[in-house]
A and B are shown apart, each in its own frame.
Chain A
């Protein structure tokens, strides 16, 4: 579904964050991307979404080459993005935030379908509330719902557990797993929270200095703490 080949990209021409990254994700798979800060995890998601200038390499999504396309086109091809820090529209109501997820999609009606509120009942309760007044966990659900309302095939999630209570992270993992099953959704998850990774991911990839350096099944992660030690501790 997604193939990245020899990707080189960064924020300035002089310093590349991604240094020849290769990655393949099959349809329906949930892949976790792990690594220390500054290794290029978020940068990879931004590059896929079209927010960075790509110096070299290819990104293929289904049958489309997406390097050089603009973010709104990439979104319309079926990739949705939940950025780090959520970036919800704090001054808008919950419902307005959700509607913004379909306004750019001509094929979809401009209203919130029932399945979104079925997955995230708290958003139905708060639909008229300003999004900025909700808790971190609720805002994260909103950011995910806003991405899902556009019916993506591939969901890019950047640290969804950041700043959220552990009990809520558990719920989030259950909900995401259920949605992935119901929608045959493919997910690329950047995450430091081992709990969430073990619950969701079918495969873990480790990134170091802008390249993938290792891959592991979640079972091996559980059995081999040295692996995490090597790629995650500072």
Chain B
């Protein structure tokens, strides 16, 4: 019973962190038709922002608040300098953002070195849930992710700004004909997606080995979640991340990480074969 509770909570916390990364990817892809290969590095930079703030004596909480702001600024700059010049050529966006990903990774190695950095756990205590002892920080991650994901959904489905963004996603040319500044939408979206990934990296940093490879570890399952859930659909992201995070956590707890990877990839292939447009049916 205790193990089941712990596995369930682990799966949920992984799913929620993955959701933050996947939401940014989906919004950017939906609005700009850009597959952002550098998204894992936005996650990475979020974690390193915490390292930087902590080394400067600022502590984890300040780092957590700084990360989305720093990443929004970086996202804004990269959109202006690189992405907007290639966004109408689909394959080029993959190459360009992949190039960005390599450059960011190398820059991190130059500045911080290739070895893992430590981030102090700000909530080292443990709590008792349904008879199982569980680390507080993991619960905190879940709370942050739920709040941010719910905020993103409200922003998209309940506000005028979200309606404009969904309009641009559904029909960019028509939205522009109605007077909506699609360039401004692009910039805001890219910055927002980067901030979400940065926040995810920052909040996960105390649990992970903060090293230059940590972004890839989240980008691949995030992409799989989107394919499984259905690209271009926010509810699909919920489905996709639950399937991927759930299956990988459960399998890894019974066997090993390697078996989990194989199982997750196989499951993804089966689902995509059966639902080519994703579990959410590719509805926009």
Which residues of A pack against B, CB within 8 Å? 49-51, 70-72, 75-76, 80-81, 83, 87, 89, 91-92, 96, 99-101, 103-105, 110, 146-147, 150
A-B contact pairs, 24 of them (CB 8 A): A51-B176, A71-B173, A72-B178, A72-B181, A75-B177, A75-B178, A81-B177, A89-B167, A89-B170, A89-B171, A89-B174, A91-B170, A91-B283, A92-B167, A92-B170, A101-B179, A103-B178, A103-B179, A104-B164, A104-B179, A104-B180, A105-B179, A147-B178, A150-B178
- Contact of B154 with A by CB under 8 A: no
Complex Cα distance, B21 from A27, in Å, reads 52
- Contact of B146 with A by CB under 8 A: no
**Minimum C-beta distance from A155 to chain B (A):** 12
By the criterion CB–CB under 8 Å, are A104 and B178 in contact? yes
Complex Cα distance, B173 from A71, in Å, reads 8
By beta carbon, the residue of chain A nearest B161 is A103
Which of A70, A83, A87, A89 has the most chain B CB atoms inside 10 A of its CB? A89
Known: A91-B283, A100-B163, A103-B164. A70 touches B171 (CB 8 A): no
Complex Cα distance, B179 from A147, in Å, reads 10
Chain B interface category by residue count: 20 to 34
With a cutoff of 8 Å between Cβ atoms, the chain A residues found around residue B178 in the complex are: 72, 75, 80, 100-101, 103-104, 146-147, 150
Complex Cα distance, B156 from A92, in Å, reads 13
With a cutoff of 8 Å between Cβ atoms, the chain B residues found around residue A101 in the complex are: 178-179
- Contact of B182 with A by CB under 8 A: yes
Contact partner of B181 among A83, A104, A110, CB < 8 A?
A104
By the criterion CB–CB under 8 Å, are B170 and A51 in contact? no
Complex Cα distance, B182 from A71, in Å, reads 9
By the criterion CB–CB under 8 Å, are A99 and B177 in contact? no
The 4 closest A-B pairs by CB, nearest first: A104-B179, A75-B179, A71-B176, A104-B180
With a cutoff of 8 Å between Cβ atoms, the chain B residues found around residue A70 in the complex are: 176, 181, 183
By the criterion CB–CB under 8 Å, are B177 and A83 in contact? yes
By beta carbon, the residue of chain B nearest A156 is B177
Which of B160, B164, B171, B177 has the most chain A CB atoms inside 10 A of its CB? B177
Complex Cα distance, B180 from A216, in Å, reads 37
Complex Cα distance, B20 from A205, in Å, reads 56
With a cutoff of 8 Å between Cβ atoms, the chain A residues found around residue B171 in the complex are: 87, 89
With a cutoff of 8 Å between Cβ atoms, the chain B residues found around residue A146 in the complex are: 178
Contact partner of A72 among B170, B179, B283, B284, CB < 8 A?
B179
With a cutoff of 8 Å between Cβ atoms, the chain B residues found around residue A76 in the complex are: 179
- Contact of B175 with A by CB under 8 A: yes
**Minimum C-beta distance from A106 to chain B (A):** 9
By beta carbon, the residue of chain A nearest B283 is A91
With a cutoff of 8 Å between Cβ atoms, the chain B residues found around residue A103 in the complex are: 160, 163-164, 167, 178-180
